[in-house]
């Protein structure tokens, strides 16, 4: 299970460099990895990565999401809007 989550986080992080524009975004991606790992494991344990399924799962369970993960997702969303 831990290996699967590690692979999942690597896949998610691999899809994010398309938005990379500087160290600020890199910091936001690192925050997302750190703050959302436990939420993904807890809220979306059987969700296959890819196609936005993990993001959709987190959004569907946002009322149960930790504050740190919610903030990291919001910051990443704000960064995307600025580009």
| pLDDT-above-90 percentage for the chain | 28
Provide the sign of the torsion angle of the four alpha carbons 82, 26, 53, 65, taken in this order. negative
Three-state DSSP state, 21 = coil
pLDDT by residue (tens digit) across 9-49?
545 555 444 444 557 767 777 777 788 999 999 999 999 98
Q: Which two tokens mark 55? A: 């993001």
The domain ranges of the chain are 2-82
**Residue 1 confidence (pLDDT):** 56
Instruction: Tell me the C-alpha distance between 83 and 76, whole Å.
Output: 11
Task: Answer whether 45's CB lies under 8 Å from 1's CB.
Answer: yes
DSSP 20: -
Q: Which two tokens mark 15? A: 């899809």
């Amino acid at each position: 299970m831990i290996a699967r989550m590690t692979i999942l986080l690597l896949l998610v992080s691999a899809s994010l460099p398309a938005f990379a524009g500087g160290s600020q975004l890199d910091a936001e991606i690192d925050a997302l990895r750190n703050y959302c790992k436990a939420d993904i494991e807890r809220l979306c344990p059987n969700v296959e990565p890819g196609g936005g399924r993990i993001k959709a799962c987190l959004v569907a369970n946002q009322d149960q999401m930790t504050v740190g993960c919610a903030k990291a997702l919001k910051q990443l969303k704000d960064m995307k809007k600025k580009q």
